[in-house]
Amino acid sequence: MTVKLLVLNGKEIVIETLGERPLDPKLIYLVSKVCSHPLYSKFYPKLHIILDPNLKLDGVIKFEEIQNGKYIIRINPDTKNDFERVLIHEMVHVFQSSINFHLPRLRAGGQKLNKALKDVQIVLSKKKGPEIKNYYPILRIALYQLMEVPWMEGLANFMDKYHSVYGDTLYPNLNKILTEEWPNVYQLMTQATHIFEQLCILDNSEIKNLAAYVARIKSNIHKFSPYAVLVIFASQEVTSLQTLLEMNPREFIRIYVKASKKIGLQPLIGINCGVFNYKNLLENHLLVEYKKYGE
């Protein structure tokens, strides 16, 4: 184990490596570069970065640690993604976790969904096969949770995908980026909608794939999420990153829909409009199929 202490802008940054590997000078440089950035340095009062080569994810934070004043980010130093961008992404989540009181509820909802999906697999492993009607409540939980992904991941994805790449040239190029990205994000959300509609008409033999289908929808919305932030900033409905971080997920989507319409774009997700339309998916697909079973 190797530990390095940095003091940047009056804030302590501890870099710790796990295992026998020495601390890579390149990673020290990247940490110094990111943590001394005028914007990114606002995201933390102090930071403890643990480099764990056995970490399965690129990077991760633990909500409970942040809430208890332990600003710890774990990163796999062998990440196939850009280390600098992974660090920025997790720093946004640190800030998000430290200022937003909605996160405990969101985290509890995510745990409830994961348990429900796991329970389906347990029943299937016993070869009893759940009746189709029994998994509709799980889909309702899933749909609710999926609507929270744009806020949960959009801001962090925006910072690492766009802000870290374009820097000061981002805002002058917003309209160009929006135009170039549109075909891809439209396809992602159209596909997500189609998959959820298909989930509502699964037969018993396909229920085993429920978790995989939900994960695929979540992945599509995750990839779309930074685009929503671009739209909001392009419309100037909100111009402050901190204001977006302090919102609740439903308010974020409402602002995104309003911003889309303001700049002449079709909303790709919405509570009662858009391609991935919560109310339409719930009332005209999920509940319609559920009522066929007399519930």
Domain spans of the chain?
A: 2-99, 103-291
Torsion of CA 287, 274, 107, 43, to 10 degrees: 180
Who contacts 70 (Cβ-Cβ below 8 Å, separation ≥6)? 48
Place of tokens 């399965």: 56
Q: Is 134's pLDDT higher than 80?
A: no
DSSP H helices in 52-102:
63-67, 83-99
Torsion of CA 112, 117, 123, 129, to 10 degrees: 130
Q: What is the DSSP letter of 243?
A: H
**pLDDT band at residue 101 under the 50/70/90 scheme:** low
d(CA 232, CA 244) in angstroms, rounded, equals 9
As a whole number, the mean pLDDT across the chain is 85
Task: Count how many residues are written for the chain.
Answer: 295
51-67 pLDDT, tens digit per residue, is 999 999 999 998 888 87
Residue 274: left (phi > 0), alpha (psi -120 to 50), or beta?
left
Sign of CA dihedral 6, 47, 81, 226: negative
CATH class for domain 2-99? mainly alpha
226-277 pLDDT, tens digit per residue, is 999 999 999 999 988 888 988 888 999 999 999 999 999 999 999 999 999 9
Q: Is 132's pLDDT higher than 80?
A: no
| Whole-Å CA distances, 217 to 40, 163, 195, 223, 266 | 30, 25, 7, 10, 19
Q: How far is CA 108 from the centre of its chain?
A: 15
d(CA 139, CA 245) in angstroms, rounded, equals 27
**pLDDT band at residue 127 under the 50/70/90 scheme:** very low
- Range of 103-117, 126-140, 141-155, 264-278 with top mean pLDDT: 264-278
Place of tokens 């997500």: 192
**pLDDT band at residue 129 under the 50/70/90 scheme:** very low
**pLDDT band at residue 124 under the 50/70/90 scheme:** very low
Q: Is 178's pLDDT higher than 50?
A: yes
Residue 196, amino acid: F
d(CA 100, CA 102) in angstroms, rounded, equals 6
Mean pLDDT calculated for residue range 280-285: 91
Q: What does the pLDDT read at residue 289?
A: 75
- Lowest model confidence (mean pLDDT) among 59-68, 86-95, 199-208, 269-278: 199-208
Q: What does the pLDDT read at residue 293?
A: 63
Mean pLDDT calculated for residue range 162-178: 86
Mean pLDDT calculated for residue range 128-146: 72
Q: What does the pLDDT read at residue 246?
A: 83
